[in-house]
Chain A
Amino acid sequence: MAIEVRIPTILRNLTDGAKAVDGKGGTLDELFADLEARHPGLRARLVDEKGLRRFVNVYLNDEDVRFLGGLGTVVADGDTVTVLPAVAGG
């Protein structure tokens, strides 16, 4: 088992076009580090020095991780993590 991570269109150039990739880790932070090993450049699109990027939404199953523990959110095999760019502007 692994954690499935669903990748939005705009980031699929970093996953060879794949809509979903598998990863592992005990927290979201570890999961992103694991993905970075196989998909270089992906982590920087999700995280900056302050944590999760403000205009990227990351969901653990049906919850926005901002309302869980951010990058420290605990993840486990069988979970699905979904990444969606926020739709926003002025």
Chain B
Amino acid sequence: MLTITQALVDQMVAHARADHPDEACGVIAGTYGSDRPERFVAMTNAERSPTFYRFDSLEQLKVWREMDDRDEEPVVIYHSHTATEAYPSRTDIAYASEPNAHYVLVSTRDPEHAELRSYRILDGEVTEEEVVISGSVM
């Protein structure tokens, strides 16, 4: 289960809409071990592609170091699909490399209604999980 505030959900959807038709990607950091997403970090999609994403490598180093310094980890790793459903693609599964992260997919294929779903991806296995909107930021 992913517990997350509406404000963070809105930020992911807004980023995905802004970068459409390219895929948008980013991370939401949270205190290590808390499983609570808190700090929204939109990342550059170095591929600038409608079918692929990859965090810019130097930006990733900077953000991962910041998280280390703050005793945080990537609680959510999100990206968008711009023409297909919010379900992990074969490459999403192949390259998933953060065992503690919730992988959030946002689909922007429908201009009116954004679809947002969350998964665990471990050793090539995808498990969808419930997304629960929490009332307020602690």
Residues of A near any B CB (own CB < 8 A): 8-10, 55, 57, 59, 62, 64, 66, 82, 84-90
Q: Which of B4-12, B89-97, B108-116, B129-137 contacts A (4 or more CB under 8 A)?
A: B89-97
Residues of B near any A CB (own CB < 8 A): 25, 27, 43, 47, 51-55, 57-58, 60-61, 64, 73, 77, 79, 88-100
User: CA of A9 to CA of B47 in the docked complex: distance in angstroms?
Assistant: 25
Judge whether A57 and B96 touch: CB under 8 Å: no
Judge whether B52 and A90 touch: CB under 8 Å: yes
* A residues less than 8 Å from B93 (CB atoms): 89
Judge whether A10 and B92 touch: CB under 8 Å: no
User: CA of A15 to CA of B51 in the docked complex: distance in angstroms?
Assistant: 35
Known: A57-B57, A62-B61, A66-B57. A85 touches B97 (CB 8 A): yes
Judge whether B98 and A86 touch: CB under 8 Å: no
| Min CB gap A1→B, angstroms | 22
Quick one: closest A residue to B25, CB to CB?
A87
Known: A89-B53, A89-B89. A9 touches B61 (CB 8 A): no
Judge whether B61 and A59 touch: CB under 8 Å: yes
Known: A89-B53, A90-B90, A90-B92. A82 touches B97 (CB 8 A): no
Partner of B95, one of A55, A59, A66: A55
Judge whether A88 and B52 touch: CB under 8 Å: yes
* A residues less than 8 Å from B55 (CB atoms): 86-88
* B residues less than 8 Å from A89 (CB atoms): 52-53, 79, 88-89, 91-96
